[in-house]
Amino acid sequence: RNFCGTQPFDKHWLNLDCCGLICAGMTYCLHMYGVYAFGWILLPPWFSVMDEDGYRELTFGCHFHRTLFITIAFLAVLA
């Protein structure tokens, strides 16, 4: 019994195809970039308040949407 492979009795299913592994790695990188772009680039200008000193403070809505999106993205990676 192999540790990984595509045979019926292998412990973990993993196709060791070079192109498939590269595509899977690129997909994970795109998920990470999507989380970064949405949570730290796109949301703060919309859900923030700037005080007198010019410091931008994030609202509860920003933290809520960021947490919700990261949770959904994490579940998409697990699926």
- As beta bridge partners, residue 50 has 56
pLDDT for position 42: 93
Average pLDDT over residues 16-24: 91
User: pTM (2 decimals)?
Assistant: 0.75
What are the pLDDT digits (tens) for 37-69? Answer: 999 999 998 999 988 888 889 999 999 999 999
pLDDT for position 54: 85
pLDDT for position 75: 95
